[in-house]
């Protein structure tokens, strides 16, 4: 993953689209806890699994 992960970010695991979108709960080194729509809360090792950040739409001005 090119950008650092932070709590509150929305992510997806491209290898597991069935998990749905997730929200990062915590980040400790390479261990990231994510609450996924369809898979619940999972601990993901980002040294092994790639998570993609989901771009939030920009608010209109």
Instruction: Say how far apart CA 54 and CA 21 lie, in whole Å.
Output: 8
pLDDT digits (tens, 9 = 90+) for 30-59: 999 999 999 999 999 999 999 999 987 666
| Contacts of 3 by beta carbon, 8 Å cutoff, 6+ apart | 53
CA 1 centroid distance within chain: 10
Q: What is the pLDDT of residues 15-37, one digit of tens each?
A: 999 999 999 999 999 999 999 99
**pTM score:** 0.85
């Amino acid at each position: 993953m090119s950008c650092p992960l932070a709590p509150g970010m929305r992510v997806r695991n491209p290898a597991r689209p069935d998990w749905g979108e997730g929200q990062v709960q915590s980040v400790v080194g390479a261990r990231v806890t994510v609450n996924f729509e369809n898979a619940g809360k999972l601990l993901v090792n980002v040294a092994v699994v790639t998570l993609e950040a989901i771009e939030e739409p920009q608010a209109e001005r």
